[in-house]
Chain A
């Protein structure tokens, strides 16, 4: 493993440190059960052979259409899903088959922020209690210090101290997301998987939360895996970006290079699908990505994108392209450049 990491490492000149987390050829499959005996009739291949390094202090953006497996990658990394194949490392330690007991101390190191914080906050607990709970569960603070720690967390995410006596429903969507962030931060994690953290929020509030996440990263030295389908938010917050299609990463590179000159036709079409920022930039006969992604239970042979790709050729139907090892990597037989 070490040599592999080092090789990847030399490709990423920008990152001098070893990855904080690593997925190595990971496959996460969900069984499809049929019939009275619930026999397994096949698998939804949510994550199908993904290798990914996440470096300390970076924000790795993960984009793709719904159902492409981006949330599954986040959950697999946190060991919330069982892997079918492949290996997972966290800080140079393989955690692929760690028991729940061995995972527990690591749970403080990696946290998850959800799209809908309301669903993850117990409606019958006051905010103060919600924030104190993880501190007690992981024995991070002695009782006497908990109140002070809760105050510090609230201040960190920009909520008034009086919030601790209120219930989650008394807060707006943006404030609830702040509570969700405070709860994730309470255990002092190193890595946070942000799964669509701003998708459900109003535009003016999205900007507040994106700025907050960025400030916290600087202040606390956090690493983010930022999962979203909104390309604008991803471009704004990320250092590098990985583009997913049907369970696989098709392009991976520095955000500005990837957005300015994508190599994979899918990335190009995904970017083109994003609405313009001014009416004068409208394209009259816009090339629109046709159809929808095929069923991940039976992905197409060869390149998975060939059924929708305007440039597909015979080779694409037969042979599966691999992610080339360059700094700006693409999995395509005929990349755009």
Chain B
């Protein structure tokens, strides 16, 4: 039994060590700018947790990162290297905005319809690279990556020309406001919104799907060893397509919630500039694609990102330091420092016994 505990500890140790190393690199960068490191990190902590508003922003951002990350985690678990989160997120947001604006529905339906439209938008866009892989053997990694640019430019065009809001002079490339009924409630005085509940619920649901359903089992086995899955009667194409659909739907939902709770309209660039999709990817890598781990990792990244905004306000250290720290963390996780060597050593011993 102690082995199980050790296994679990090793799983936790790796990202933890990486985070510490990432913060250490951040400290060097802060030191290089001439600011006292302790003060800067205190400002970061304060920026993320200092008051209700800050905490709300942190949670709101973490929520969207988590959705993007959950999408990545599902795809990666199934062995599909979906790098198209950015496009899936943006098109999900756009679909939610356009659907709620142009399809009037009674009662609370716009809320549901908006979320569904967002999920559908992301899912359909994710289907495209899956289809290209199955039908034309185009590597999903590259096609999904390139499709980001296609999606982002297309969305930008749509809100700049045909669906542009011309009411206020049309200075900005954005859609009209979505109807009141389609807006997700905010906690007063903060940016914390009810969408966070959806994120929490969804990560539990996805954990359940991955660990407790046949579909999830087939995804995981396909990801771990496609030959083993095939030998056991798993349909590879089905596993790939369903994983990509769910992956895209979750990312699309992230875009939809961001639109419906925070901006109440699709504003060109607002879903891409904060780098939600890439932060989500990092969260998934950090959590080794575990749905509940993604929540934690997304929260960590949210803290770093929102906190660094606060740090910039009080110390003038550029907030981009957060991107540096995050990327360094993921790099350290990718080399599986220390912990993995330990596991490999233990594995070898076990193989010998």
Do A and B come together as binding partners? no
Binding site for A on B (CB under 8 A): none
